[in-house]
Structure 1
Amino acid sequence: MQMYMFGLITAFLVTIATVPMVMAFARKWGFVDKPDHRKVHKGNMPRIGGVAIMFGMAAGVAVLWSQLGEAQNEMGFLIAGAVILAIVGLIDDRFALGAKTKLIGQTVAAICAASSGLRIEFIQIPFIGNVEFGFLSFIVTIIWILAVINSVNLIDGLDGLAAGVTMIAVLTMLIMATGHPLAYASVIVLSLSLLGSTSGFLLYNFYPAKIFMGDTGSMFLGYAMAVISMMGLFKSVTMFSLIVPLLILAVPFIDTTFAVIRRTLNQQSIGTADKGHLHHCLLAMGYGHRKTVLIIYGISMLFGAVAVLFSQTANWVSLVLLVVILCGIMLFAEGIGLIGQKRKPLLKALGKMQLVKKLE
C-alpha cells in the first residue's frame, strides 16, 4: 500500500512541477487556443497540458514498475501507442489537423496497443451469454480504443471537465480492481498513476483554467482509459462485463452518440464542431461555468456508483431502472440542445420570409 501511495504522489507532484514549464513552452512556440464563436474562454490559452499529464503518469508508472508483473511485456507497445498520440496531438494543437488525419494517427496508436496482446476477446451480454470475437478481436479492440479516445476528446469543452470526468471513471475502475489486487495489479498501477497526474493537472485546469490539456491531453486520457478498461473490466467474466465499462464511460459515450445524431440530422460532417454538447446545453439553460462542470461530475459519479453496484450485486432490475433514470437526465439535456440546434435554421428561414414580406 505504501508503494502504491508513493506512485500516486509521485505522479501528482511531477505533474504539478511540469505544468508551469509546459505553459511557458506553449506560449513561446504558439501552442495556444484562440477564442472563437463556439468557445467559452477569452484570450489565448496555452493548450498542451496533456504533456504534463503524460510526464506525471510516466513518473508514477516508473516508480511502480515492479508491481506490473507480466503486464511489463505489454508496456512497450502501449507506450509506443501513447507516443504516437502525443505526436499527433502536438501537431494538431499547433496546426489544427483535419479529422481524417487525426483518425489515422489514432488508428495507428490503437493498432500498437492491440499488437501488445491486450485484446477484447469476448463480451458477456445479459440473457445471451458470452459472445466470442475470435479473429475479429483485433478489430474490436481497435474500435473500442478509438471510441473511448474520441468520446473524451469531444467532451473536453469546459475548464476541468474532461480531467474531472476521467478521474471519476478511473477511480471507479480502481475501486473495482482493489477487490482483486493480485489479479489486477497492472490496473491498480496505471489507475493510480493516471489519477495522480490528472488530479495534479486539474489544479491548473479547473475553472478559471490557466492551461488547457488540448487534443494532446484528451486523446491520451481516452487512450489510457481504454487500455485500463481492457486490462481489467473486459478480462473479468461477470454478468455485466459489457454494461460495466459502458456505464463508467456513460457521460462521454452518450454525449458523443448525440453529437453524431445531431450532426447527421443537420446534414453536417460528424467531425464538424458545434455548440450542442451536454455542457453547452447546460450553459444555455442558465447554469454557470463552474456549476455546469460540477453537475456533469455528479452525473458521472452516479454512473460510476451504479457500475460498481452492477459488478457486485445480482439485483439488477432496480439497477437497470436507475440507469434508465440517469440516461433520461442526460438525454433530456442533450435533447434540449438537439432541438435548439434544429430550431436555429428554421428561425433564420422564418426571419428571412418576414423580411421579404416587409420589402414587398
Structure 2
Amino acid sequence: MFKALIICFLISVLVTPFVKKLAIRLGAVDQPNQRKVHTRAMPRLGGLAIYMSFLGGMILFFPNDSTIWPILIGGLIIIVTGVMDDIKELTPLWKLTGQLAAALVVAIGGVTVDFINLPFGEGQLHFGHFSIPITILWIVLVTNAINLIDGLDGLAAGVSSIALLTISGLAITMGNTFVVIIGFILLGSTLGFLVYNFYPAKIFMGDSGALFLGFMISVLSLLGFKNVTLFSFVIPMIILGVPFSDTIFAIVRRILHRKPISAPDKSHLHHSLLRLGYSHPETVLMIYTMSALFSLAAVIFTQSTLWGALFILGIVMLLIEIIVEMTGLISHNYRPLLNLVRDNRTKR
C-alpha cells in the first residue's frame, strides 16, 4: 500500500516540470487580475501531472481489474474538461456538462449511494431509483467544493491531501484494501505536485487539478463508506468540512447580496483570512489546520456511540459558526454568537 504512495509521489515529482513547460507552450497560463491573489502569470495545467501519476499508479497496481474502468473513464472525462478550461476557459455550463458526464459514467458503473442508515433505530432509508441522481449530485457538489477553494498556492492540493489521508486511514480500519490503494495512489500524486505548488508556487493545478481531485475524492468517499454499519453522508461531509462550508456560505453570501450563484467573488475563506492580516503561507497553514481538525472529528465520529456522534456534530457546527463570524464569510455584520459573548462580558 505504501509502495503505491511512494511510487506515485516520485512519478509526480518527475512529471510536473515537463507539464509546466507544456502549459507555457499551450498558453495555459493564469493571468493576474483584481480577483486573484497572484501578481504574475503562472502556468496552470498542474492537474495533468497529478492525473498522469495517478494513471500510472492505477495501471501498475490494477493491471487486470475491470472494476476500475468506470473510475478511469470518469476521470478521463473530468481531466479533459479541466485541461480544456485551463487552455480556453470554458463557460460554467460546459464545465458542469463535463462533471455530469463523468458522474453519470461512475454511477452507471455501479458506484452509487444505495441507502443511508437512519440516526435512530436500526432502519435504513433505501433510495431505489433515486440512487443514481443522488450519486451524481454528490459527485458534482464535492467536485465544485474542491474547485472553489483553489485560490492560494498549495491550498487545494494540501486540503485534498488531508482528506485523502483521512479517507485512506479509515479504509484501513475497515479493511477496504481497494480504497486504500487508490487513495494512496492519489495522495502520492498530489503530494508530488505539492512540491512545486506550495508557496511560492511554480505551477498552479488549474481547473484540471481541482476538478480531478474533487471528482476522485467524491468517488473514493462513496467507495470507502459504502455499506458501512454507520454509513451516512455525515462522515465525508465532516472530512470535507472546510471546502463544503466555504461553498455553502459562498452561495448564502451571493443570495443575500443578490448576485448570481456562479458569480465569482473575493470573499472566500482564504480571502477573508488574508484581509485579517495573515500572510499567504500563514493563511494556507491555518486552513490546513482547520481541515486536519475536521478530519480528526470525522475519525472520532466513526468510533462514537450515537450520542457521542451527535455531540461531535454539535462541536463541528459550533466551530464552523465561529469561523464564519470571525472571518466575515457571510458579511462583516453577521456576528450573532460573538456579539452574544461580548454582551455577556459587558454585563459582568
Moved more, 169-178 or 321-330: 321-330
* Gap regions ≥5 residues in structure 1: 343-360
Shift of 1:309: 0.6
Shift of 1:115: 1.2
Question: What is the distance in 1 between the residues matched to 2:200 and 2:25?
Answer: 22
Match of 2:340 in 1: none
**Which runs of at least 4 in structure 1 moved beyond 4 Å after TM superposition?**
none
Amino acid aligned to 2:137 = I
Shift of 1:77: 1.7
Match of 1:49 in 2: 46
Instruction: Give aligned-pair identity as a percent.
Output: 42
Check conservation: 2:249, 2:329, Cα contact below 8 A: no
Question: Over the residues paired in the alignment, what is the CA RMSD in angstroms?
Answer: 1.7
Q: Deviations over 1:220-256 (max 9, x none)?
A: 0001001101111133121x63211110111111100
* Closer, same or farther: CA 237–94 of 1 in aligned 2, 3 Å: same
Query: SS in structure 2 opposite 1:235?
Result: coil
Shift of 1:340: 4.7
Shift of 1:317: 4.6
Question: What is the distance in 2 between the residues matched to 1:154 and 1:13?
Answer: 28
Question: What is the distance in 1 between the residues matched to 2:258 and 2:179?
Answer: 41
Amino acid aligned to 2:18 = M
Shift of 1:154: 0.4
Check conservation: 2:324, 2:330, Cα contact below 8 A: no
Match of 2:243 in 1: 252
Match of 2:2 in 1: 5
Aligned length: 331
Residues 228-239 of structure 1 mapped to structure 2, 5 A cutoff = 228-238=220-230
Match of 1:169 in 2: 163
Check conservation: 2:54, 2:186, Cα contact below 8 A: yes
Shift of 1:321: 3.6
Question: What is the distance in 2 between the residues matched to 1:119 and 1:302?
Answer: 28
Alignment partner of 2:17 out of 16, 20, 25 = 20
Query: SS in structure 1 opposite 2:199?
Result: coil
Structure 1 position 145 matched with structure 2 position 142:
no
Question: What is the distance in 1 between the residues matched to 2:317 and 2:61?
Answer: 39
Match of 2:338 in 1: none
Query: SS in structure 1 opposite 2:331?
Result: helix
Question: What is the distance in 2 between the residues matched to 1:231 and 1:316?
Answer: 22
Match of 1:218 in 2: 210
* Closer, same or farther: CA 341–35 of 1 in aligned 2, 3 Å: farther
Shift of 1:173: 0.8
Match of 2:187 in 1: 195
Residues 300-311 of structure 1 mapped to structure 2, 5 A cutoff = 300-311=291-302
Q: Deviations over 1:326-359 (max 9, x none)?
A: 222332245x1432599xxxxxxxxxxxxxxxxx
TM-score by length of 1: 0.88
Larger Rg, first or second structure (1 or 2): 1
Amino acid aligned to 2:284 = V
Structure 1 position 316 matched with structure 2 position 312:
no
Question: What is the distance in 2 between the residues matched to 1:13 and 1:145?
Answer: 28
Structure 1 position 135 matched with structure 2 position 126:
no
